[in-house]
Amino acid sequence: MKFGKPSRKISTFYPPQRTLMGPGPSEIHPRVFSAMGRPTIGYLDPVFVEMMDELKELLRYAFQTNNAMTFPVSGPGSAGMEMCFVNIVNPGDKVIVCKNGVFGGRMLENIERCGGIPIIVENSWGEPVDPNCVEDAFRNNKNVKALAFVQAETSTGVLSDGKTLAKIAKSNNAYSIMDAVTSLAGIPVLVDEWGVDACYSGSQKCLSCTPGLSPITFSDALMEDLKKGSRKKSQSWFLDLDLLSGYWGDSNRTYHHTAPTNSLYSLHEALLMLQEEGLENSWFRHRRNHQALKAGLEALGLTFLVDEPYRLPQMNAVTVMPKIDEAEVRRRLLDEYNIEIGAGLGNLSGKIWRFGIMGYSCKMENVMLALCALETVFADMGTATEVGTAEAAAYKAYASHPSHGKIVEAVA
């Protein structure tokens, strides 16, 4: 059988320039774009191996850890998630999993696929994980191997207390598995101080790197337990921690897979920029721009899904105005202003908008542009919106929230 050329003319793809203010990916700094275009070299080239060591060091800073096994998985945050479960959970292991949004549900599915026995702690979407419910789950179930939870639930914009949850796990002789996909570099993620055993993130959120990499870290104690304990061979060859230890370890580097070299260049540059800015300054920048966006959105009459003490500054979920077509608002923002915002997922589909201000997208010009565009779209759709009100509220918030300072302790 012969196959002819495509029936339609296909030419070089040039994507439009968008202002990315959804749940991810975030915008990418020109320095990071530039790094991706550098010459490709072999994945065992001595120069590349040296860069890999620098990547690990930079990631240790981002995670605030001294863990030796800290590296980027060749795959998105979902690959980091799966790597934790396929290496820690054996068939029959009891795992307490906290479910208060989409990504807690994905943790649950990973446990089931590994043959683990999930013990579900469920909280309403938009509410943080309740530590008391977690403690009850430990009291009612003996020999629990791990506690899995999402620190920053992207589907709702809610923050859970990673420090307290990790402490509960440790006090019950269980490992802690923390999803920091949306939190890393946007709010404190203090792996060593909190005693988190396994933590993974994504490159495309607050790190503002190309999608497709998952920074991950495993505690030295967990690694030692996995080495000496009896466990099944990982059901995933690609995500097998033993095999990857040989590739990302400190000595005798052995081939495992063809690393995404140019993507790793970009992550190296993004992490270098994070180090130059400083973690606390990055946390503060996300908080400052959140306060301005919040003021503007509330001036438009929008209300937040999450109670203020538990809101993520980098992921703002607001309820849709009555009698407003939420999909039409998103369509017009995209078509007329090149602004992308997120829709609700699962139970919240059609009920919320999600405004992301992550990494390089987290800047004053994006906040002001989004508020101005939203005002105009609302006014055109017949709402009682006074043009200029949202921008004025945001400017006032910026004025009362100086551009430099320390993040409030409550965020940690």
The pTM (predicted TM-score) of the whole model is: 0.95
- Read off φ and ψ for residue 184, nearest 5 degrees: -55, 125
* Helix orientation angle between 131-140 and 162-171, rounded to the nearest 10 degrees: 20
22 in a structural domain: no
Above 70 in pLDDT, residue 160? yes
- CA-to-CA distance for 111 and 392, rounded, in angstroms? 48
Name the amino acid, one letter, at 310: Y
Above 60 in pLDDT, residue 407? no
**Which among 293, 296, 339, 345 has a CA at the least distance from the CA of 316?**
293
159 and 252 share a domain?
yes
pLDDT confidence of residue 384? 82
Query: Range of 385's domain?
Result: 278-411
Report the chain's mean pLDDT, rounded to a whole number.
94
8 in a structural domain: no
Model confidence pLDDT, tens digit, residues 184-199:
999 999 999 999 999 9
How many structural domains does the chain have?
2
34 and 155 share a domain?
yes
Helix (H) or strand (E) holding 91: none
**Which among 144, 142, 132 has a CA at the least distance from the CA of 177?**
144
Above 80 in pLDDT, residue 229? no
Q: Range with the lowest mean pLDDT among 280-294, 316-330, 357-371, 377-391? A: 377-391
Q: What beta strand segments (E) does 234-367 contain?
A: 315-319, 339-340, 342-343, 352-356
Question: Buried b / exposed e across 274-283, counting CB within 10 Å, b at 16+?
Answer: beeeebebbb
- Bridge partners, 353 (sequence order): 318, 343
Which position has the token pair 């795992």?
95
19 in a structural domain: no
Helix (H) or strand (E) holding 54: helix 46-63
Model confidence pLDDT, tens digit, residues 63-74:
999 999 999 999
Token duo for residue 121: 């702690």
CATH number at residue 336: 3.90.1150.10
250 and 388 share a domain?
no
152 and 242 share a domain?
yes
Angle at 373 (CA atoms; ends 372, 375), nearest 5 degrees: 65
264 and 362 share a domain?
no
- Segment 254-265 shows an average pLDDT of 92
pLDDT confidence of residue 411? 36
pLDDT confidence of residue 307? 98
265 and 292 share a domain?
no
pLDDT confidence of residue 254? 83
**Which among 150, 81, 148 has a CA at the least distance from the CA of 118?**
148
257 and 382 share a domain?
no
351 and 395 share a domain?
yes
Above 60 in pLDDT, residue 406? no
Tell me the Ramachandran region of residue 255: left when phi exceeds 0, alpha when psi lies from -120 to 50, beta otherwise: beta
The CA–CA distances, whole Å, from 262 to 34, 176, 184, 235, 254 equal 10, 32, 22, 28, 20
CB 215 within 8 A of CB 184: yes
380 and 244 share a domain?
no
Model confidence pLDDT, tens digit, residues 81-103:
999 999 999 999 999 999 999 99
